[in-house]
Structure 1
Amino acid sequence: MQHMIMLMTRWKNISEIRTEEVPDELETSVNGLKEAEIRKRLNIHGPNEILFKRPMALLRFLKQFQSLLVYVLLMVAIFTAVIGEWIDTVVIARVVILNSTVGFIQEGKASEAIEALQKFTWSESAVIRDGEKIRIPSRLLVPGDIIITGGGERSPADIRILESKNLLVDESALTEESVPVEKDSDPLTDEDIERGEFRNILFSGTLIMKERGMGAVISTGPETEPGRIAETVQKVEVKTPLLKKIDEFSRTITITVIILATLNFTAALIFGYETVFSFLTSTSLAVAPIPEGLPAVLTVTLALAVRAMAERNAIVRNLPSVETRGSVTVICSDKTGTLTRNEMTVKCIYAGGVFYEVEGTGYDQEGKIKRKGVEITENPGPLEDILTCALNFNNASVEGGASR
């Protein structure tokens, strides 16, 4: 509900105005922005990308100590140092440092892999700039850019629709609604906005299911809806079931040893033992039940699990997260636009009861149409009809081996 209220506040004005007023509102035009203005806006708003903040190395190392069991071990190390048991102190200190070092190194490798993956998964967008339709990396989009997008593509930014026809968009990533939403360029009424129905807005990351549309970029990068959600998520610390159990175990054992040590110390004083002797005995009793090797065993086990998943191309950033990742049995993934260029190639045509083989790959303009391995020299009627339909029912063109 809070997210929807924020959404309504942000988009109310841009959604209510008429389509022809949108370019003026965004200080642009249907012919797009000029180069000087593009550079200016890129400097102001930054690249159109969502970056996950990587903490400083020192902070990431200190984060490894954020465990109740580690705190207990540190307290035990202090006690053993006080009573002169230096061997125990050194062993516990080594265990804690080894535990933190393994976690620090593993999470560092995962962060580097994720950053490399973010650089790899780039995309392109068709834009109109200075009156010319071109394709540019989506990370270079700025507010005010005029975007042309269509079925099978994902919206590269938050966009106010200027032109559309039967445009269907899957917004399940934001709304969890599985049914595609019909989009148009008509201004919204107060009633539409109160219901949260932003039919003339394409939100960044949503999948266009059908037809094509044109619109003006409103927000890019961290200012988009997914960007704001990502910023919020990064501020949230979630503990896995394993960490919760370890904390619960640590609390139980800490309370138990404190009670036993206190009772032992009190009883020793009552029976007339010296205060120093009673304290040392009670401290030893408190230290004995603490499982010094448990953090190291857990960390090494999780590190091995992370390594096993990495061999299967699954990257885990935080060690404890491997527990939840390891319980996953089915992953549903949408291939379109993920790690591909969203290009498909026709390899076969069925027309008039006959199969025709089509050669060529992607936007390569070289290729032949064959029937039973023999190149055809004349187009039969049914085949010519299909090729004519394919030509007339799209607005693409090919320049320099790429689609425009």
Structure 2
Amino acid sequence: MKFLNRTSYNKQLQKNRRDTEMKLSSYSFMTEDELFALLSARQTGLTSEEALNRQGESGKNVITTGKKNTVLHRLREAVINPFNVILLVIAVITYFTDVVASSKPDYLTVIIIISLVLLSSLVAFVQDWRSNAAAEKLSKMISNNADVWRDGKLISIFMDEIVPGDIVRLSAGDMLPADIRFLTTKDTFIAQAALTGESNPVEKFSISKNKPEDGLTDLTNLGFTGSNVISGSATAVVLATGNDTYLGSMAKSLSGDRAKTSFERGVDSISHLLIRMMLVMVPVVFIINGFAKGDWPNAFLFAISIAVGLTPEMLPVIMTSTLAKGAVSMSKHKVIVRTLGAIQTFGEMDVLCTDKTGTLTEDKIVLEKYMNLHGEDDTRVLRHAYLNSYFQTGLKNLIDLAIINRASENGLESILEKYSRIDEIPFDFSRRRMSVVLTDKSGKRQLITKGAVEEIASISSFVEMNGQIVPMDEETRRMALSTYDKYNAEGLRMIAVAQKNNVPGSGAFSVTDEQDMVLIGFVGFLDPPKDSAKSAISTLREHGVRTVVLTGDSEGVALKVCGKVGVNTASLITGRDVEHMDDAQLLKTAKSCDLFAKLSPSQKERVVKAFQAVGHTVGYMGDGINDASALRQADVGISVDSAVDIAKETADIILLKKDLMVLEEGVIEGRRTFGNIMKYIKMAASGNFGNMISVIAASIFLPFLPMLPVQILTQNLLCDFAQMGIPFDSVDKEYMKKPRKWETHSIKSFMSYMGPLSSVFDILCFAVMWWVIGANTMDKSPLFQCGWFVFGTVSQVLVIYMIRTAKIPFLQSKPSAPLFLSTLVITTAALITGFTDFSIGLDMYRLPPRFVVWLAIILAGYLLCVQLVKKIYVHRHGEWM
């Protein structure tokens, strides 16, 4: 039946997808008037009232997949898990043995087991609810916007407020906010690899030349959610939003497995280790107790209980709450975590690749010089640059804004009245330039281009010198580039400006028109280094993070800035060098080079791969379109809230403040979070290993079970509750000095030391109970079990203080108040249970007062030995946690 339901479900998904494809495809072949009539849209956009009404009908522009995160769903997840299922099975079996098949029905054990299930489920539910609430609160702090026409004005709104019929404006770096049909395009290239797998961007047009039989994603006048604008500009009308989009129709079928992060791989490795321990332990204990005691049903129950006791059922709760606590703490440092698992990767990062602009520099570019080819101030060069920056409709970056501001200061605004824009050729990262075509009141057409010096020089056939236009030959080219080299070496970011007048009188303009240009001069910008950058890089270095700069800027500017902020500039590799290197050469270079300049987006991605190939955990920090591929490739992508949409969407970590000092604080918080997770895992793994040895020894030599199933389960839950304060614990500063990775080998080593040590003192407890207290007969087995219950619980709680730090606890390293409180409460509960009549509720006898002295002696010996072993372990392995 389940298979049939699944098949029917898949068929319904396929039908929904086909219907969506047919509907969207039909939009492609309508005339603009037909389309606007169908969507009740118009060129001037919707009114606010219309948009609000449509959102009420179509809902928020959000794609939902799978099961909703409702209270009922979270409650079901908290209750139904493997550990609770085992407990419930034991409860059922206990019900038949203690109630149905017993002459004196005893409900107490069943009630306790059911209570344990309810209690652990409640904790899991509350922690999950708090974690979800924290994640949702953080996600609301970052958002992507879209430019739409509303009430006849172009405004910026949140993407989830987009509705069908909206008219949107798109430029390089924007994500497509919905499924759209293009109304106007200008060199518009879209990356839609997320939908089609195509690595190369595709060009889109307002007029389709497709045929009805063409595939949906091949239709050149349609764009889809999940795509982003690589270059160019466009306007479009929204066809569908949310689950009605093409991506939305596939969302449920696409919401399957994805590549696991290093955090998830680490958790899996630990889980497999614990499961292997359990698979070995359960049959061994079952067989030994079955043959030794001759009571196979009880032996089976005991073995199952041991399995539960060996399984850290609070691991998901501890890890989720620790990560959520880390995310909230990081938000206080202006660091927003989009995926909780990225926190651990953040702390593991040992190489930070970063762009230069805005990270190492002030992100306040100032136009410092405008000069002719001789290096002399020339207002005419500024005027041409101003016209280019003002009339372009794409993404106005800091350079454009700096030009516009400087032109305004020089009183050049009046020249705008003389010109109007005919066309433009938007910026892209392969050409590294952009052009506008203007006409003045006399009808004269002029093409003005600005961009990277080498690229502008390559399309220029003439130069302007001393008011004369002369052909560019070797001498004039060398003279022009020497001016560029001079100021570039002084740290100015140089942009070339060119123009030509013999522009075609009609038709659309394209890249092919950018030739035979006249190079007229340069504009130079100063982007001063941040005061905090040098100390931030130094601090990151002290914490084991190497900073590597990957920039598209020229060598001169990169060297100047990086030299001032403390980046190693002994070796500099350019994009041209990278292009001529094979992978082996690049891997060798990456080991020693911290500065890469004039890189293209694909080259940035390639350098990140090179660092990963030699075993580094790489973070990449960027905020531009040219950073998207490197952000996606990095182990942890880092962007800023002011970044372009595609950069923010790709990143795992969003900084609300563009500063490396903020990043350093996030790295430390990531390591603190990981440290607290490792405390729990190492305690659980070593404690379980010790219990294995103790239980096997007890099973061989004792004529009765060392503890009953209900006692084991209660002890296990008490110890888990004692560790609920771990997410809030402090971590030693020494631990956070270097990156930390998941290492199963380290956990195995830790277990091999701490497990047998705890077993030695368990056996000492057995000896005291047997020979000193006299619990050495079947009749007195409940007294023996009570003694081990109290010692086992209290020792596992107190050893938290020894394991949580490599130092002397309390004297050199103090625990947090929540951890101290949780351990104090559980220790008190265990002692009250063992030394009062509460013990009867767990089928135990009350311990005599004289056991207090022996308990204190054994505990003191255990804790002192742990401290001694700790020193030996640190001396041999170089670290504790």
* TM score, norm. by length of structure 1: 0.67
Closer, same or farther in 2 for the Cα pair 1:114/1:227, shift >3 Å?
farther
| 1:219 has 2:240 as partner | yes
Closer, same or farther in 2 for the Cα pair 1:213/1:56, shift >3 Å?
closer
Distance in 2, matches of 1:171 and 1:200, equals: 13
Q: Secondary structure at the match of 1:30?
A: coil
Distance in 1, matches of 2:372 and 2:178, equals: 44
Q: Tell me the residue number matched to 1:43.
A: 56
Check whether the contact 1:103–1:303 (CA below 8 A) recurs between aligned residues: no
Q: Tell me the residue number matched to 1:367.
A: none
Q: Deviations over 1:358-402 (max 9, x none)?
A: xxxxxxxxxxxxxxxxxxxx973322322222123337999xxxx
1:347 pairs, out of 353, 366, 378, with: 366
Check whether the contact 1:158–1:219 (CA below 8 A) recurs between aligned residues: yes
Distance in 2, matches of 1:300 and 1:139, equals: 32
Query: Shift of residue 176 of structure 1?
Result: 3.5
Q: Tell me the residue number matched to 2:93.
A: 79
Q: Where in structure 2 are the equivalents of 1:282-361 lying within 5 Å?
A: 282-290=296-304, 291-293=307-309, 294-299=311-316, 301-303=318-320, 306=323, 309-310=326-327, 311=329, 314=337, 346-348=365-367, 351-352=370-371
Check whether the contact 2:86–2:308 (CA below 8 A) recurs between aligned residues: no
Distance in 2, matches of 1:388 and 1:90, equals: 81
Q: Deviations over 1:248-302 (max 9, x none)?
A: 8799799969x979xx7xx9xxxxxxxxx99xx3321111112233243534553
Distance in 2, matches of 1:179 and 1:315, equals: 27
Closer, same or farther in 2 for the Cα pair 1:253/1:395, shift >3 Å?
closer
Closer, same or farther in 2 for the Cα pair 1:179/1:237, shift >3 Å?
closer
Range that drifts further, 290-299 or 174-183: 290-299
Q: Tell me the residue number matched to 1:167.
A: 188
Distance in 2, matches of 1:70 and 1:253, equals: 21
Distance in 1, matches of 2:119 and 2:32, equals: 62
Closer, same or farther in 2 for the Cα pair 1:181/1:395, shift >3 Å?
closer
Closer, same or farther in 2 for the Cα pair 1:168/1:238, shift >3 Å?
closer
| 1:8 has 2:29 as partner | no
| 1:61 has 2:75 as partner | yes
Distance in 2, matches of 1:136 and 1:353, equals: 42
Q: Where in structure 2 are the equivalents of 1:196-275 lying within 5 Å?
A: 196-231=217-252, 242=268
Q: Secondary structure at the match of 1:33?
A: coil
Range that drifts further, 226-235 or 31-40: 226-235
Q: Deviations over 1:166-195 (max 9, x none)?
A: 101122333333322211112252377237
Distance in 2, matches of 1:330 and 1:173, equals: 27
Query: Shift of residue 304 of structure 1?
Result: 6.2
Distance in 2, matches of 1:285 and 1:44, equals: 62
Query: Shift of residue 74 of structure 1?
Result: 1.2
Check whether the contact 1:164–1:184 (CA below 8 A) recurs between aligned residues: yes
Closer, same or farther in 2 for the Cα pair 1:195/1:148, shift >3 Å?
closer
Closer, same or farther in 2 for the Cα pair 1:345/1:25, shift >3 Å?
farther
Closer, same or farther in 2 for the Cα pair 1:140/1:297, shift >3 Å?
closer
Check whether the contact 1:72–1:250 (CA below 8 A) recurs between aligned residues: no
The aligned amino acid for 2:163 is: V
Q: Tell me the residue number matched to 1:390.
A: 389
| Greater RCO (CA < 8 Å, at least 6 residues apart) | 1
Q: Deviations over 1:84-103 (max 9, x none)?
A: 37665455445433432332
Distance in 2, matches of 1:260 and 1:164, equals: 76
Query: Shift of residue 204 of structure 1?
Result: 2.2
The aligned amino acid for 1:204 is: T
Range that drifts further, 25-34 or 210-219: 25-34
Q: Tell me the residue number matched to 1:180.
A: 201
Check whether the contact 2:282–2:303 (CA below 8 A) recurs between aligned residues: no
Closer, same or farther in 2 for the Cα pair 1:121/1:176, shift >3 Å?
farther
Q: Across the two proteins, how many residue pairs are aligned to each other?
A: 349
Distance in 2, matches of 1:135 and 1:306, equals: 33
Distance in 1, matches of 2:45 and 2:338, equals: 40
Q: Secondary structure at the match of 1:112?
A: helix
Q: Deviations over 1:312-365 (max 9, x none)?
A: 554667xxxx5x98579679x9x9xxxxxxxx86434553279xxxxxxxxxxx
The aligned amino acid for 2:138 is: L
| 1:23 has 2:36 as partner | yes
Check whether the contact 1:153–1:208 (CA below 8 A) recurs between aligned residues: yes
Q: Tell me the residue number matched to 2:515.
A: none
1:33 pairs, out of 46, 50, 55, with: 46
Check whether the contact 1:110–1:315 (CA below 8 A) recurs between aligned residues: no
Distance in 2, matches of 1:330 and 1:176, equals: 29
Q: Secondary structure at the match of 1:211?
A: strand
Range that drifts further, 75-84 or 88-97: 88-97
Q: Deviations over 1:46-97 (max 9, x none)?
A: 2333467754434422322323342122111232344337665455445433
Query: Shift of residue 213 of structure 1?
Result: 0.6
Q: Deviations over 1:104-149 (max 9, x none)?
A: 1222122212322343333433323454434444333221121122
- Give 5+ residue unaligned stretches, structure 2: 1-12, 99-105, 331-335, 355-362, 402-881
Distance in 1, matches of 2:372 and 2:252, equals: 56
The aligned amino acid for 1:148 is: R
Closer, same or farther in 2 for the Cα pair 1:93/1:254, shift >3 Å?
farther
* TM score, norm. by length of structure 2: 0.34
The aligned amino acid for 2:370 is: A
Closer, same or farther in 2 for the Cα pair 1:11/1:101, shift >3 Å?
same
The aligned amino acid for 2:391 is: N
Closer, same or farther in 2 for the Cα pair 1:345/1:246, shift >3 Å?
same
Query: Shift of residue 246 of structure 1?
Result: 9.9
Distance in 1, matches of 2:384 and 2:258, equals: 60
Distance in 2, matches of 1:226 and 1:254, equals: 48
Q: Tell me the residue number matched to 2:717.
A: none
The aligned amino acid for 2:393 is: N
- Give 5+ residue unaligned stretches, structure 1: 268-276, 336-343, 355-377, 399-404
User: RMSD in angstroms over aligned alpha carbons?
Assistant: 4.8
Closer, same or farther in 2 for the Cα pair 1:246/1:18, shift >3 Å?
farther
